[in-house]
Amino acid sequence: PGPHSPPASTSSLVTEDVKPTAEFPTISLSARQKGLVVTGFDTGASIEELSLKFGVPTEAIESIILNRAEVIRDQTAALMAETEDERDKQLLQSARKKNRVRRTSFVGLNILMWRFFKDCRDNGIVLNGKLLKEHAMMISRQLGLENFKGSEGWLDAFKRRHKIDLKNMSGVPVNYEETDDDKMEEDHDDATMANPSTSNEPIAIPHEINISQIQSSSEGDGLGVY
């Protein structure tokens, strides 16, 4: 171009080091999704990774993590309000007798923990035993389960009931029998160890959540699918 040629268009002068900023639509995360943000952070995911995963700005992720106590309370309330999972119901129909287990002294907690596990599995969050026990402790405090300590005994029993493989994040729903004359399965959990003289008796847990609050509508056999 000659000396009097017009300047090049500014649109052609964009430098290579300018990176576009991520733009997110207005999204309101559910209580359960916010709980998964906290869990994802605990597994080692960065603020930026969680921002992209859940489609919200980094500021929203930071706010969720800073308010984790309230977030976990709301998550637990949402887990309690869940209706029956149709997919789990179908899975269980094919192996109803095989997957039927005797109730545990922490049946309410186990049901909520299974729902939490499903949420993590479905959102690609890989858990380990430590995280499962820590989350169980947080839920147990909300439920007033003063005897629950998040022991390895409880974890092993929970994983055994649901056939959980943490490496593959796989597991199956089970039926928790609710007949009063059933002897509880020996879990070697904290409540049993704390009361060895009454290990064969149902342990009264103060303020334990009412099973009717968390048990979804069952089939004609009176068993809940979890």
77-113: per-residue pLDDT in tens?
999 887 666 655 554 454 444 555 555 568 888 989 9
121-136: per-residue pLDDT in tens?
999 999 999 999 999 9
Query: How many Å apart are CA 92 and CA 89, to the nearest integer?
Result: 5
Query: How many Å apart are CA 96 and CA 104, to the nearest integer?
Result: 18
pLDDT over threshold 80, residue 168? yes
The H or E element spanning position 100 is strand 100-101
Q: Which two three-digit tokens encode residue 176?
A: 């928790």
The reported pTM is 0.65
**Residue 51 contacts residue 58 (beta carbons within 8 Å):** yes
Of 100 and 23, the structure prediction assigns the larger pLDDT to 23
